[in-house]
Amino acid sequence: MKPLIKYQGYSRKEVHDIFEPHTRFVPRGGPWGNWGAIKIDKRPGDYVFLATLGTTQSGHKFDEGITEDGVLTWQSQPGQALKEARIREWIRHDESKNSIYFFLRINKRKNSQYTYLGLLKYISHDTNREKPVYFHWQILDWDITQRDLDRTGIKLSKPTSEPRDIKLDSLVAGEPPARYEAKAQGTEVFRSKKKPDYAKRDEKNKKIGDAGELLVLKSEIELLKKEGLLELAEKVRHTSKLIGDSAGYDIESYNKDGGIKYIEVKTTQGGNDTDFFMSSNEVAFSESHPDNYFIYRVYDFSEKENSAKFFVINGDLKKSLTLTPVQYRLSCRSLKEQAQ
Annotate 174-187 with DSSP letters as a single string.
--PPPSP---EE-H
d(CA 51, CA 57): 12
User: Is the pLDDT score of 239 beyond 90?
Assistant: yes
Mean pLDDT computed over 229-238 = 97
Q: What is the mean pLDDT of the chain?
A: 88
* Nearest residue to 233 (alpha-carbon basis) of 254, 212, 257, 211: 254
CATH architecture for the domain at 9-159: Roll (2.30)
Sequence spans of domains, the chain: 9-159, 163-340
d(CA 252, CA 236): 6
The SS3 assignment for 8 reads coil
* Nearest residue to 45 (alpha-carbon basis) of 94, 84, 118, 80: 94
At residue 59 the predicted structure's pLDDT band, cuts being 50, 70 and 90, is low
CA count, 13 A, side-chain hemisphere, 19: 23
Angle at 206 between CA 100 and CA 233, to 5 degrees: 135
d(CA 155, CA 169): 34
d(CA 103, CA 118): 8
Res 187: pLDDT = 58
- Encode pLDDT of 269-324 as tens digits: 888 888 899 989 999 999 999 999 999 999 989 988 999 999 999 999 999 898 88
User: Is the pLDDT score of 180 beyond 50?
Assistant: no
Res 204: pLDDT = 66
* Nearest residue to 296 (alpha-carbon basis) of 186, 209, 200, 166: 209
